Amino acid sequence: MDQTAPLKTVKFHSGEAIPLEMHKVRVVQKLNLVPIEDRKAAMFDAGFNTFLLKNKDVFLDMLTDSGTNAMSDNQVAAMSVADDSYAGSASYYKLEKAVQDVFNQKYYLPVHQGRAAEHIISKVFVKPGMVVPMNYHFTTTKAHIEICGGTIEEIYTDEALKIKSDFPFKGNMDIDKLHKVIEKWGVDKVAYIRFEAGTNLIGGQPFSMQNLREVSAIAKSHGIKLLMDTSLINENLYFIKIREAGYQNVPIKDILHEMLSYTDFSYFSGRKVSCTRGGGICTNDHAIYMQMRDLVPLFEGFLTYGGMSVREIEAMAVGLYETLDFDVISHSPTFIKYLVDSLDSRGIPVITPAGGLGCHLDAGAFISHVPQGQYPAGALAAAVYIASGVRGMERGTISSVRDEAGNDVLADVELLRLAFPRRVFTLSQIKYLEDRIQWLYDNRKLIGGLEWTEEPPVLRFFVGKLKPIGDWVDKLVAKFRADFGDSL
C-alpha cells in the first residue's frame, strides 16, 4: 500500500495533464440541479448563508470536506462487523492499534469530532491569561482557547497571506516571530504551540518538515509543548512527499512518523483524515494522556467509544491505514490543482499554489468593487450558488467576530472556499463549476454586497442571516437567463 518507489504518475499521449481517478464508483447518489429561480429563492430562505441551504437545493456540495468524503469498499465492509458494547468493544481495540501503527502514538483518546478534542485540550492546558502561538487559527480552535480565557498569536510567514505565490509551504511558522512571541509572553504563559497541518483558513496550505523540525527544537529548548492538529494531515503528507527535497523516496508512513516525533501530542477530526466521523487525541506521553483522560467519559463517552458509534470506529481504523496510500491522499490535491491552475491561467483570482482541502477564490479581488464591510466573500458564495447550484463556504469577515467595541474585525483575506470532499466529484462536474465561475467572473460587476438581518454573537457564520444590498440578485438572474436561455 505504501510507496517507496518514486512517485507514480500517468502521462497522457496528448500531453494534456488532467487528474485521473484511481478508483471506480460502485455506489452513487442522485443529485439535483434546480433552476436558477429556485436557487435564488433557496438563497433568500437561507438568509444568504450557505450553511442554511437545504441539500435538496444543492447540486455540488462543496461547503466542506468534513464528514462528506467517500468511504472505500473496505471501510464499508468493516462497518458490518462492528462489536457493539459500551465498554471494551473489540472495534475500539482495532482503532487503538491503527492509531499506534499509523501515527506511531501509544495513547489514544477517542472523541466525537475534532472540536471535542479542542475542547478537552483547551480545558486542560489553557488557563486565563495564557497564549497559544500557532501558524494560523481555525474557527473552532480559536473559540475553544478564548472560552478558556486564552489568546492566540498567529505567527505565519509573509508568504502565507499572499494570494498569488509559488511558495510551496505557506503553512510554515515564522521562526523569528515565534522567538518574539515567546519572549513577549514569557515561557510560563505559553500553554503550548499549535501547528496545524494543511492550514485550513489560508487555503489548505502545508508546512514543511524542515520548518516543523525548527519549531520543535525551539519548543523543546523552552520546555514548551508542541501540539499538532492533524485533521488535514493527508494533504500535508502528500505535499511534503512531492515538494520537499529529500522526501520523494520516503514511505508515507515514515514521513508521518517523523512529523509526529516532533510533537508532544496531536489531535484529529476523523471527519477529514479517515473519511469517517469522530476524532481523537494522540500522544506518546503518559503524563499528558493522564491529564486529559478523565475528561473523555465526562464530555464524550466511555474511553472505548468517546461519542463515536462502533460502526464509525471500525471504518476509522481502516481509513487511518488508507492515509498511507499515495493514491488515496493524492486524489483531492490533484483535482484541486486542476481547477486552481485552470482559473489562474484565465486571470481569475485564486489562491496559489493549489493546496489541499479546496479551491479558494479571492473574493476581495474577484468583486473588488464590493467594500469589505459588505462581506465580499459571503456575497460571492451566494452568487456562485445562484449561478451554479454549487455551495461553497465564506471564509472572510463573516467568519470572524466583532471586537469588544462591536466593530467588525475585517479578515486578512476574503475567501470563498470550494471544498473538495475526497473521492466524491468527477472531472466533468469540476469542469461545469469552472465554466460557471468564468461566467460569473465575466459578469462580476453585477454582484453586490450583503448586510446582516440576524447576527449571533458567537460563531456567527454558522447560523447568522443576511440580505443583499440593493437588487443585484435579480439582475444576476436576468443576465443568466439572457445568456443561457432555458438551461439549468
Which residues form the interface with ligand F0G (CB under 6 A)?
64, 66, 113-115, 138, 140, 196, 200, 229, 231-232, 269, 271, 279
Options 107, 335, 461, 480, the catalytic residue:
461
- Cβ atoms of 378 and 229 within 8 Å: the answer is no
Query: Nearest CA to 452 among 373, 388, 394?
Result: 373
Q: What sign has the CA pseudo-torsion 206, 212, 214, 220? A: positive
| Placement of cell 483535482 in the chain | 335
- Cβ atoms of 51 and 462 within 8 Å: the answer is yes
What backbone torsions phi and psi does residue 257 show, to the nearest 5 degrees? -65, -40
Q: How far is the CB of 267 from ligand F0G (least distance, A)?
A: 8
**Is 138 designated active site?**
yes
User: ∠18-23-26 over CA atoms, to 5°?
Assistant: 125
Q: How far is the CB of 395 from ligand F0G (least distance, A)?
A: 9
- Cβ atoms of 197 and 236 within 8 Å: the answer is yes
d(CA 374, CA 447): 11
Options 139, 167, 325, 441, the catalytic residue:
139
Other C-beta atoms lying within 10 Å of the C-beta of residue 192: 23
Q: What sign has the CA pseudo-torsion 434, 438, 439, 440? A: positive
Q: How far is the CB of 419 from ligand F0G (least distance, A)?
A: 7
C-alpha cell at 37: 429561480
Q: How far is the CB of 176 from ligand F0G (least distance, A)?
A: 25
Identify which of residues 113 and 352 has a Cβ nearer to ligand F0G in the complex.
Answer: 113
Options 86, 220, 474, 484, the catalytic residue:
86
Identify which of residues 115 and 337 has a Cβ nearer to ligand F0G in the complex.
Answer: 115
Identify which of residues 358 and 448 has a Cβ nearer to ligand F0G in the complex.
Answer: 358
**Is 139 designated active site?**
yes
C-alpha cell at 330: 493524492
Q: How far is the CB of 329 from ligand F0G (least distance, A)?
A: 16
Identify which of residues 40 and 271 has a Cβ nearer to ligand F0G in the complex.
Answer: 271
**Is 285 designated active site?**
no
d(CA 362, CA 392): 13
User: For strand 450-454 and strand 415-419, is the pairing parallel, antiparallel, or unpaired?
Assistant: unpaired
**Is 272 designated active site?**
yes
Residues in CB range of 66: below 8 A, 6 or more apart:
269, 271, 272
What backbone torsions phi and psi does residue 265 show, to the nearest 5 degrees? -160, 165
**Is 166 designated active site?**
no
Q: Helix count (H) and strand count (E) of the chain?
A: 19, 12
Identify which of residues 68 and 85 has a Cβ nearer to ligand F0G in the complex.
Answer: 68
**Is 461 designated active site?**
yes
Identify which of residues 211 and 269 has a Cβ nearer to ligand F0G in the complex.
Answer: 269
Q: How far is the CB of 196 from ligand F0G (least distance, A)?
A: 5
d(CA 348, CA 164): 11
Q: In sequence order, what are the beta bridge partners of 61?
A: 391
Strand order in the sheet with 193-196: 107-111, 279-283, 265-269, 226-229, 193-196, 131-134, 151-154
Options 271, 395, 417, 422, the catalytic residue:
395
Q: How far is the CB of 118 from ligand F0G (least distance, A)?
A: 7
Task: State which residue has the least CB distance to ligand F0G.
Answer: 114
Options 194, 271, 272, 337, the catalytic residue:
272
Identify which of residues 153 and 196 has a Cβ nearer to ligand F0G in the complex.
Answer: 196
Does an H or E element contain 258, and which? helix 252-261
Identify which of residues 216 and 236 has a Cβ nearer to ligand F0G in the complex.
Answer: 236
d(CA 411, CA 454): 20
| Placement of cell 472556499 in the chain | 417
Options 57, 61, 65, 229, the catalytic residue:
229
Q: How far is the CB of 166 from ligand F0G (least distance, A)?
A: 24
**Is 86 designated active site?**
yes
Q: Which residues are catalytic?
A: 86, 138-139, 229, 272, 395, 461
